[in-house]
Amino acid sequence: MKLKRWQRVTLWVLGTVLVVLLVAKHFLLDNPAAPGPEYVIDLAALHRAATAAPGALPDHVEVEKVAEFVVPRTLVVAGDGLGTHKMVLLAHRVVWPDHSLLVDTAMSEAACKSLPSGKFDAAAFERVEKAMVQAKDIVFSHEHPDHVGGVSAAPDFGAIATQTHMTREQLMSSKLERKAFAPDTLERLQPLDYQGLYTVTPGVVLQKAPGHSPGSQLIYVELANGARYVFVGDIAWTKDNITLGRGRPGIATLIMSEDRGAVAAQLKALAGLPKDVHVVVAHDPVTLESDLKAGVYRLGFGGT
């Protein structure tokens, strides 16, 4: 059978479109990033930094689940196909007998309206707001609104300004949603500058991890009973990113303008940590449930 010219052209166009779609699917959805230069997590150095200064180590860690939401799985793990993926919005509190430190602050009900299929827990966020005022220190895995939103929504910024420690990278980042903060509030924060490791207080150490955002950092916590935690913020969105060695797909990276190679190198370093180190992923409901069952942290912010 001899095809007419318009039929040949149509077939050629359809074939080209198919190839372009397959190439786009490969690079935007399926292909995980190759790790960039090695990222090192030196647990011995973190332990030394956590325990060098005199002072009690923390007693336990608490968690608040402020919201639940749903995103397409294909945006979370490269190559994992279609389907939905549940996520949670968490804030953590490290507790000593006489003081506390917050890791991230979630965000307000108004801000949570932007989350797809979001369910907000007003009582949980109220406890986070109260804990921000009580905390001796507040640190952030990174500067995205779902992590610093509690601070930007604080009804009395003066009551939390002293204890709010944002790094210079977080404060200068183009990813910080400045318009969410009331005028003259960000200017009241003293930028935190450090190189290498920074001990916030005995038991809590920061290590820069730019990639997901310029201000991303690991928060290492060591308890008096020897339990070790690494809060990774959004370097991973699910523990699967670490265990499967596959980060977010190219399209998610493009939307958020991540440094894919840096994030992939960090995922590899996290995958290499001993199993007794609790890697805390900020949005993973599956790990949250299993960690709660295992007593890794307690649900709900308690007293002081």
Tell me which residues touch Zn ion (CB under 5 A): 146, 234
What's the angle, vertex CA 110, arms to CA 108 and CA 111, rounded to 5?
65
> For 106, left (φ over 0), alpha (ψ -120 to 50), or beta?
left
Which residue lies nearer to Zn ion by CB, 99 or 119?
119
97, with CB counted inside 10 A (0-12, 13-18, 19+), is exposed
Q: Which residues partner with 198 through β-bridges?
A: 206
Min dist. Cβ of residue 283 to Zn ion (A): 6
Which residue lies nearer to Zn ion by CB, 201 or 248?
248
Which residue lies nearer to Zn ion by CB, 246 or 248?
248
Rounded distance, CA 90 to CA 141, Å? 12
DSSP 164: B
Min dist. Cβ of residue 64 to Zn ion (A): 15
Min dist. Cβ of residue 234 to Zn ion (A): 4
Which residue lies nearer to Zn ion by CB, 25 or 208?
208
Q: Say how many Å lie between the first and final Cα of the chain, rounded.
A: 83
The residues, any chain, with a CB within 8 Å of residue 4's CB and separated by 6 or more, are none
Which residue lies nearer to Zn ion by CB, 234 or 284?
234
Which residue lies nearer to Zn ion by CB, 165 or 248?
248
Min dist. Cβ of residue 89 to Zn ion (A): 7
Min dist. Cβ of residue 87 to Zn ion (A): 8
Which residue lies nearer to Zn ion by CB, 121 or 234?
234
Rounded distance, CA 269 to CA 30, Å? 22
Min dist. Cβ of residue 144 to Zn ion (A): 5
Min dist. Cβ of residue 153 to Zn ion (A): 16
SS3 label, residue 31: coil
Cβ 242 vs Cβ 279: under 8 Å: yes
The residues, any chain, with a CB within 8 Å of residue 46's CB and separated by 6 or more, are 197, 205, 207, 220, 222
